[in-house]
Structure 1
Amino acid sequence: METRSNHVLVGSVVLILLAVLALFTVWIARLGGASEKEYDIFFKQSVDGLAKGSSVTFSGVPSGQVKLIQLWKNDPQFVRVRITVNEDTPVLQGTTATIQGSFTGTSTVSLDGAVKGAPPITCPANDAANQCPYGVPVIPTRTGGLGALLNSAPQLLERLSTLTERLTGLVTDKNQASIAGILDNTNRLSRALADRGPEIAATLAQTRIAVQQAGDAAAKIGDLAATTNGLLAEDVKPAMANLNQAISAAKQSADTLNATIGDARPGLQSLSKQTAPELARLIHDLRQMTDALTSVAERVDRNGAGSVIGQQRLPDYKPGK
């Protein structure tokens, strides 16, 4: 009976010690978990090389590890990754997550982009169901590093394939012959230019001389223009002053003439209405008198002065004639 009682006592003590050890382990786990924070990341890319327990870094500093990797049931295009980081890791507004691959095949989750003074990433109270579907804050992602290259690899391969096909279609036998002809023509042109090198050099030299002469001519024209401006400033100004004085005198004379004409206008009107007809009759009478005197002068010249005093004598009549 005593031996059986000792076994029961020992078994009870062992069970009590195991229970205490379990409680201590749970307490330690909770104590350690209280110093870590959990976040979800939804990657819309391949997470090849990433596994449970992979390292999480912040600006290259180890800060946590990957806790869970699974496809997101709401949208299979995304991969949900649960990470835990140290409590002092500055996961703030503006922080993003990327997958950093390596040639060894392992990948890590890299966090970066914390802004000083920004608030930490938390679940909003008004839209927590959509913003935090699994009850922890969500860190936004960005494509970068080897992951971006791997994601764009299919498009790059497709473009390289298209470019290869186009180059293959371009380099046909006919196009090769055309390219060969172009190269031959280029060679002939190069040889012709080489043969005409001295002539081209002489032409360039003449061109330089012509340009220099043009520059000298331009300088002389500039000097002439400056001299002309000086002459205009010295000689033309006095002449313009004299011309202005002459114009003023002519204006005064014109004003005086206008006044004189205005004063003589009544006399001119009387002359045109009364004296002009009398002068016309006088001129008519003078013309008649002039014609008569001309006739008398002509008669005196032909027949003498007696033709004016008496009648003209008839010629003697002789019979038989």
Structure 2
Amino acid sequence: METRSNHVLVGAVVLILLAAVALFTVWIARLGGAQEKEYDIFFRQSVDGLARGSAVVFSGVPSGQVKSIQLWPNDPQFVRVRISVNDETPVLQGTTASISGVGFTGVSQVSLEGARKDAQPIACPDQPNPQDCPYGVPVIPTKQGGLGAILNSAPQLLERLSTLTERLTGLLTDRNQASIAGILENTNRLTDALADRGPEIAATLAQTRVAIQQAGNAAQQIGELAATTNGVLADDIQPTIRNLNGAIASAQKSAETLNAAIGDARPGLQTFSRQTIPEANRLVRDLRTSAAALSSIAEKVDQRGASSLIGSQKLPDYKGK
């Protein structure tokens, strides 16, 4: 009995020591390891190749691992992936998550990228919103990765390839092939004709080059003529303009002098128009009256002679019955 009791006691002590060593090891590991943060990611795509323990990288740098993968009960189209990353990983506003393949092994990993400088960390608000933090940890938005985008767009690509094939089949009918053959034949003829006219085309290009050069020389000459004209205007026209300005100033002074003279002669002109002109009018009337009398005397002289101016008119002789 004593021997069995000793074995039981030794076994219990050993188990206690092993448990203590395990607890101490875990405690040391926690002290030596960095703190981790957990996030949820809701992928609306296949997570093929992703498993618990898969790597989580931030811009290609290993930063954590996948903790769990499960369907989201609220919407089975989404897969909820819980990840844990190092506390130093800058999971800031603007960070997105995607699934990327690792080489050609078929293994996938979660890639984080897109954090903005000086942005706030992704975190749950003080009063968590069921839509923002449905499971009590921050949610990282997703972005289509290269492989996921190809897999999701594969049906559309196949449909478009099928449509393109049908259209090409309808385009390459016998009639259209004959038309295309005719177009190619006409193109060959045009190419041969251009090759035959190669010397003429070269000569035309040479003449065009000469014409362009002559046009450039003419433009240069026009520019020189314009410069010469500007010099002539500056040397000859400006003195003429100054002389013209002087003549205009002299004419203006003469006009002012004439206006002053007219102002001085205005009283004499008014007297002339009021007194002299009426007297001249009376003189003219008297002259007209005198001229009329002289005309009457001249007529008498012509008809009766000069004696008509001296004696009276002779009466006719009277004869008795």
TM-score (norm 2): 0.70
Q: Deviations over 1:165-185 (max 9, x none)?
A: 333333334433333333333
The separation in 2 between residues aligned to 1:143 and 1:230, in whole angstroms, is: 74
The separation in 1 between residues aligned to 2:292 and 2:77, in whole angstroms, is: 136
What is the CA-CA distance between 1:111 and the residue it aligns to? 3.2
Query: Does the alignment pair 1:191 with 2:192?
Result: yes
Other structure's SS at 2:74 match: coil
What residue is the counterpart of 1:242 in the other structure? 243
The separation in 1 between residues aligned to 2:73 and 2:160, in whole angstroms, is: 33
Query: Does the alignment pair 1:66 with 2:28?
Result: no
Conservation of the 8 A alpha-carbon contact between 1:52 and 1:66: yes
Of stretches 108-117 and 242-251 in structure 1, the one that deviates more from structure 2 is 108-117
Conservation of the 8 A alpha-carbon contact between 1:40 and 1:137: yes
Counterpart amino acid of 2:91? L
What residue is the counterpart of 1:303 in the other structure? none
The separation in 2 between residues aligned to 1:308 and 1:175, in whole angstroms, is: 135
Counterpart amino acid of 1:41? I
The separation in 1 between residues aligned to 2:280 and 2:245, in whole angstroms, is: 43
The separation in 2 between residues aligned to 1:84 and 1:172, in whole angstroms, is: 60
What residue is the counterpart of 1:317 in the other structure? none
Counterpart amino acid of 2:65? Q
Conservation of the 8 A alpha-carbon contact between 1:67 and 1:84: yes
The separation in 1 between residues aligned to 2:126 and 2:237, in whole angstroms, is: 92
Superposition map of 1:1-321 within 5 A: 2=1, 10=7, 14=11, 21=18, 35=33, 37=36, 38-85=38-85, 87-94=86-93, 95-101=95-101, 102-113=103-114, 121-127=122-128, 129-262=130-263, 263=265, 265-266=269-270, 269-270=273-274, 273-274=277-278, 277=281, 281=285
Other structure's SS at 1:110 match: strand
What is the CA-CA distance between 1:289 and the residue it aligns to? 10
What is the CA-CA distance between 1:70 and the residue it aligns to? 0.9
The separation in 1 between residues aligned to 2:246 and 2:151, in whole angstroms, is: 96
What is the CA-CA distance between 1:51 and the residue it aligns to? 1.9
Other structure's SS at 2:52 match: coil
Counterpart amino acid of 1:47? V
The separation in 1 between residues aligned to 2:166 and 2:280, in whole angstroms, is: 114
Counterpart amino acid of 1:269? S
Counterpart amino acid of 1:274? P
What is the CA-CA distance between 1:79 and the residue it aligns to? 0.4
Structure 1 pair 220–278 and aligned structure 2 pair: CA distance change class (3 A): farther
Counterpart amino acid of 1:125? D
The separation in 1 between residues aligned to 2:29 and 2:152, in whole angstroms, is: 37
Other structure's SS at 1:108 match: strand
Of stretches 40-49 and 184-193 in structure 1, the one that deviates more from structure 2 is 184-193
Structure 1 pair 290–242 and aligned structure 2 pair: CA distance change class (3 A): farther
- How many residue pairs get matched? 299
What is the CA-CA distance between 1:152 and the residue it aligns to? 2.7
Structure 1 pair 185–274 and aligned structure 2 pair: CA distance change class (3 A): farther
Conservation of the 8 A alpha-carbon contact between 2:128 and 2:136: no
Of stretches 9-18 and 121-130 in structure 1, the one that deviates more from structure 2 is 9-18
- Structure 2's unaligned 5+ residue stretches are 308-321
Counterpart amino acid of 2:200? E
Conservation of the 8 A alpha-carbon contact between 1:58 and 1:89: no
Counterpart amino acid of 2:235? E
The separation in 1 between residues aligned to 2:240 and 2:295, in whole angstroms, is: 60
What is the CA-CA distance between 1:72 and the residue it aligns to? 0.4
TM-score (norm 1): 0.70
Structure 1 pair 151–176 and aligned structure 2 pair: CA distance change class (3 A): same
The separation in 2 between residues aligned to 1:210 and 1:238, in whole angstroms, is: 42
Conservation of the 8 A alpha-carbon contact between 1:54 and 1:66: yes
Q: Deviations over 1:257-280 (max 9, x none)?
A: 444445253256348952664576
The separation in 1 between residues aligned to 2:218 and 2:84, in whole angstroms, is: 85
